[in-house]
Amino acid sequence: MRLSRYFLPVLKENPSEAQIVSHRLMLRAGMIKQAQAGIYSWLPLGFKVLRKLENIVHEEQIRAGHIPMLMPTLQSADLWRESGRYDDYGEEMLRITDRHGRDMLFGPTNEELITDIFRGHVSSYKDLPLTLYHIQWKFRDEIRPRFGVMRGREFLMKDGYNFDLTKEDALHSYNRHLVSYIRTYERMGLQAIPMRADSGPIGGDDTHEFLVLAETGESEVFYDSKVTDIRLGEREINYDSVEQCRAVMEEFTSLYARTDETHDEAVFNQIPEERRRSARGIEVGQIFYFGTKYSDPMGATVQGPDGKPVPVHMGSHGIGVSRLIGAIIEASHDDKGIIWPEGVTPFHCGIVNLKQGDAEADAACDQLYAALTAIGLEPLYDDTNERAGGKFATMDLIGLPWRITVGPRGLKNGVVELTSRKTGESVELSPEEAVKKVAEIYAPHHPHLAREEPMAGRSFHTWL
Ligand code: 5CA
């Protein structure tokens, strides 16, 4: 993309309404614009990051064997009356009446709708296990929407629902989700710690929230500091293996890590004092096992092996996709702006032309742009007439991990400058070497750059 043809309305001043750094930087970098309290338009740069996160979520869900679909945002109140949640959900639910006087609602979550789909089409235990998910906008009429996309009223959520014959099978689904979520967050450059939590209006006994530690987080958390040393990394996971998924779940959840709702001072005090931590965190996901809470009242049964109808065991599993952007920025920024992790950056590399209009500099930038594009990377080329300082400030603000700076002086010596946004370090390289280096950096995120098969047989439609 050439900046002169893009829409990137960056702000020079700090917007006064933003209380936390991620909200401030998202507004300043021209990623979002508030439409109403807690409701945002996603401007091109923000939309690009949102789609990147969605893509990672899809890839990891499909890898775990879960099936993508799409349910509507507007739901019928009658379904929610069947489960008893129409009255229970309270004022967070946005209720709407259509022209025929029928009660509808803007979905805050989808347990009822998915259970209705299931009961209409699945009748035998032989069709289990089944996990369906979608990524769709939700609405919760939060009393205090704040911190930009962190606590919105309209927000994008991945929500998945497992249907299993037995509690044992459903707990495998729970563990499978836990593992796939950790992989998802790690690919986004985040450490999100599973913590024992409260199930709230979704219900059930078993639930973990995933928390990214951050001072600005809304949740109070207590944990054993050793839990922050655990990583999933590049291990191969067989999602069909009950033992493997359970082992990972146990590894990640055996140490003390709880939100304030389930915190137990007596148990916490058994941790050696130097490892006891209380901190704040951003909840970026939550998984639930709730058994037959919805399948019972809504009659979602299957014919079991003995021919008798049994209600299915269910769980639901959510990732706060739009909130994650705020969490990533809270975890990765400096006083100049955002620092995107390579897995989620909206553009892979910035190109800054120090002397727009200089024939050699223009030609070198065009060649770099073409070479990066040809190998499947997306550069953002600042081809405007802005002075160099302004171009650097914009690149730093929008946080692309790598920048190639091109100027007549360097070109005389056959070099351009490759700069890391994170460390600020620069190296001088020939333009060809710079392209090669950028390709190497992104190879782990784009397998085709390393000449590997891209997710053989399981690839999801790429949005970007
Ligand atoms: N049905 C279940 C799981 S599918 C569910 O709704 N879970 S939830 O309530 O925990 O929401 C899932 C995730 O959505 C949360 O972990 C959080 O990351 C995100 N989320 C919830 N409320 C908001 C909000 N107001 N703004 C932004 N993200 C939110």
pLDDT digits (tens, 9 = 90+) for 125-157: 999 999 999 999 999 999 999 999 999 999 999
Residue 325 located in a structural domain: yes
Does the CB atom of residue 40 touch ligand 1 within 6 A?
Answer: no
Rounded distance from Cα 319 to ligand 1 centre (Å) = 7
Give Rg (Cα) of the chain.
24
Per-residue confidence band for 449, with pLDDT thresholds at 50, 70 and 90: low
- CATH number, domain at 248? 3.30.930.10
Number of domains in the chain: 2
Question: Is a pLDDT exceeding 50 seen at residue 409?
Answer: yes
Question: Is a pLDDT exceeding 50 seen at residue 329?
Answer: yes
pLDDT score of 83: 93
Residue with CA nearest ligand 1 atom 16: 285
Residues 261 and 372 in one domain: no
Does the CB atom of residue 24 touch ligand 1 within 6 A?
Answer: no
Rounded distance from Cα 210 to ligand 1 centre (Å) = 11
Residues 246 and 357 in one domain: no
Are 312 and 289 in contact by the 8 Å Cβ rule? The answer is: no
Q: Which of 275, 301, 334 lies at the terminal end of a domain, its last residue?
A: 334
Nearest-atom number in ligand 1 for the CA of 210 is 16
Q: 15-33 burial by CB neighbour count: b if 16+ within 10 A, else e?
A: eeebebbbbbbbbbbbbbe
Rounded to whole angstroms, the Cα distance separating 157 from 54 reads: 9
Residue with CA nearest ligand 1 atom 11: 318
| Rounded alpha-carbon distances, angstroms, from residue 116 to 121, 156, 172 | 9, 22, 23
Residue to substitute in 219, 323, 324, 328 for testing ligand 1 pocket (most ligand atoms within 8 angstroms of CB): 323
Per the structure, the complete domain to which residue 270 belongs is given by 3-334
Range 29-51 average pLDDT: 97
Tokens of 328: 């990533």
Rounded to whole angstroms, the Cα distance separating 342 from 346 reads: 9
pLDDT score of 447: 62
Per-residue confidence band for 203, with pLDDT thresholds at 50, 70 and 90: confident
Residues 406 and 314 in one domain: no
Cα–Cα–Cα angle for 214, 347, 372, rounded to 5 degrees: 145
* Of 43, 35, 287, 28, the residue nearest 145 (C-alpha): 35
Mean pLDDT, the chain, as a whole number? Answer: 94
Rounded to whole angstroms, the Cα distance separating 205 from 202 reads: 10
Rounded to whole angstroms, the Cα distance separating 93 from 384 reads: 47
Residue with CA nearest ligand 1 atom 7: 318
* Of 330, 453, 339, the residue nearest 396 (C-alpha): 339
Nearest-atom number in ligand 1 for the CA of 140 is 25
Q: What is the pTM of this model?
A: 0.95
* Of 98, 97, 93, the residue nearest 80 (C-alpha): 93
Question: Is a pLDDT exceeding 60 seen at residue 455?
Answer: no
Residue to substitute in 286, 319, 328 for testing ligand 1 pocket (most ligand atoms within 8 angstroms of CB): 286
Residue with CA nearest ligand 1 atom 5: 318
Residue 104 located in a structural domain: yes
Residue with CA nearest ligand 1 atom 27: 151
Question: Is a pLDDT exceeding 90 seen at residue 202?
Answer: no
Could you give the maximum distance between any two Cα atoms of the chain, in Å? 82
The residues, any chain, with a CB within 8 Å of residue 17's CB and separated by 6 or more, are 34
